[in-house]
Amino acid sequence: MSLCRVVVIEDQTLFRDLLVKALEADGQFSLTGEAMSAADGLALCCSAKPDLVLLDVQLPDRDGLEIAADLLKDFPDIRILALTSLKDDFTIRRVLEYGLAGYVEKDQPLPVLLEAIRAVAGGKTYFTQTFDDLRREMVTNPGAYYKILSIREQQILSLVAEGFSSPEIAEQLKLSPRTAENHRYNIMKKLDLDSATELVAFAIKHGIRKL
């Protein structure tokens, strides 16, 4: 029986080392490679074509879930498990929309992380109780912001909350500064907000940005 080929994309050295050691000790996995950034991780996956990717949602150079979307577009059979410290409806919605096979919080015990990895590697899905609770809340909330804003607008809202200017947002998302500014204006209009301060406060309230 061939081993499951795994790539780990995680910028936190301690957590990445923990995962790598756990995978090596398990005996069911072959570590194809590890990366600390989105750019290196994407290049590694394109060359190695692993069966499973353990992907940090928050990477220093690019949004981890955007990397997941790119990988699933080019390699639809790849299995991706999201590793995250985020517990909010913005992240949950994108995990569902992009079609990831699993989601697990980084503060879960190691046995739970391994259970999630084995499940996703075996062709199943794995979502924690926190994920399921947030998903149910989303379904029963008809006035939620994510039903008003597009995915692109949600991405921009997240970057605004982190303090990025319109030119910086444009660079991150490969848009023109004018387009980024127009998106920002439309977000405020849709949410009936009058200032950037109100926009940041809204994002914090809804868990789009964690302090």
Residues 148-182 have pLDDT tens digits of 788 888 888 888 877 888 899 998 888 888 888 88
Looking at per-residue pLDDT, the higher value among 75 and 138 belongs to 75
Cβ contacts of 122 within 8 Å, gap of 6 or more = none
Mean pLDDT in residue range 200-205:
80
On the question of pLDDT at 209 being above 70, the answer is: no
Mean pLDDT in residue range 89-98:
82
The answer to whether 76 and 98 have CB atoms below 8 angstroms apart is no
pLDDT band, very low/low/confident/very high, at 141 (cuts 50, 70, 90): low
On the question of pLDDT at 86 being above 70, the answer is: yes
Q: What is the pLDDT of residues 125-140, one digit of tens each?
A: 999 998 888 887 766 6
> Looking at residue 136, what is its pLDDT?
77
> Looking at residue 144, what is its pLDDT?
67
> Looking at residue 56, what is its pLDDT?
96
Which position has the token pair 């299995």? 79
> Looking at residue 139, what is its pLDDT?
62
> Looking at residue 75, what is its pLDDT?
94
Beta bridge partners of residue 206, listed in sequence order? none
Q: What average pLDDT is seen over the chain?
A: 88
On the question of pLDDT at 147 being above 80, the answer is: no
Other CB atoms within 10 Å distance of the CB of residue 84 = 21
> Looking at residue 193, what is its pLDDT?
87
> Looking at residue 195, what is its pLDDT?
87
On the question of pLDDT at 41 being above 60, the answer is: yes
Which option is the CATH number for 4-139: 3.40.1180.10, 2.40.30.10, 3.30.460.20, 3.40.50.2300? 3.40.50.2300
Looking at per-residue pLDDT, the higher value among 150 and 95 belongs to 95
Q: Sketch the domain layout of the chain as residue ranges.
A: 4-139, 145-205
> Would you say the C-alpha torsion 35, 39, 43, 46 has a positive or negative sign?
positive
Which option is the CATH number for 145-205: 1.10.760.10, 1.10.10.10, 3.20.130.10, 1.20.1250.20? 1.10.10.10
> Looking at residue 36, what is its pLDDT?
96
User: Distance from first CA to last CA of the chain, Å, rounded?
Assistant: 45
Looking at per-residue pLDDT, the higher value among 210 and 81 belongs to 81
